[in-house]
A = this chain, B = another copy of it.
Amino acid sequence: MRVLLTIAYDGTAYAGWQRQENALAVQQVVEEALASLIGCAVTLTAASRTDAGVHALGQRAAFNVEGLRIPLNKLPRVLNGLLPADISVSHAQAVPQDFNPRFAARFKTYRYQIWNASVPNPMYNRYSAFINQPLDILAMQKAARHFIGRHDFAAFCATGGSAKTTVREIYTCTISQAENLITLEITGNAFLYNMVRIIAGTLTYAGLGKINPCIIPDIIAARDRTQAGKTMPPQGLTLVEVQFKE
């Protein structure tokens, strides 16, 4: 049987999703909890390899298991009893044997939060970037609209990505504000390495008046990383949701 999990985590303490040699990753912690429950080694394949410090509300990851004795609807609560407080499984479902969450993803939604005030807020430190200069929300909203559509996002891709093409389609890209908290929410068919954090940095430049919102199409067209904004820090980023093809 192949099982697909929905996983939420506070990424603060982890070196990202993907298992690695010298640092603790979310994947390793969940795999070890599964292994101790099932009695044999388990390998998870995730929809998104979130970076160190990035959070998730709706990460999806699949694994194979034979003869699972726990009913699937009870699996999340049993697993949560074995997981630390900063990782939680909310759902488990059976999927076809060839299901790969990464390739089956139809779109993903990310959120990027900015705490915009003269001083930081300790209750948002873990989940937002702090910017102490006033941001022009209208300029950010104007700039955000230009990202919607099918574009070559080479200017919004960190080196080290392994994508064959840098063309991606963005369906929604919105900026909202609730008191001092500014939130970017972006949905696309897929994202390049650091793409959301570079878009957030470029929108921040628009908000600070460093660039005019109407030059975003030129920045995209130039396909030059140096023309886009800086990469924003990881703790503001959350993988909110992954939707699959029918």
Contact = CB atoms under 8 A, between A and B. Distances in A.
Given A10-B125, A125-B10, A119 B86 contact: no
A86 B90 CA distance: 28
Contact of A88 (B57, B120, B238): B120
A121 B88 contact: yes
Identical subunits present: 2
A86 B127 CA distance: 12
A10 B126 CA distance: 10
A55 interface: yes
Chain A interface size, as a band, is 20 to 34
Contact of A121 (B8, B120, B126): B8
Contacts of A121: 8, 57, 88
A70 interface: no
Interface of A: 8-10, 55, 57, 76-77, 80, 85-90, 117-123, 125-127, 238
A127 B121 CA distance: 13
A119 B85 CA distance: 11
Contacts of A117: 90
A238 B124 CA distance: 13
Contact of A127 (B8, B87, B89, B123): B123
A90 B76 contact: no
A121 B8 CA distance: 7
B77 A119 contact: yes
Given A76-B118, A118-B76, A118-B77, A123 B90 contact: no
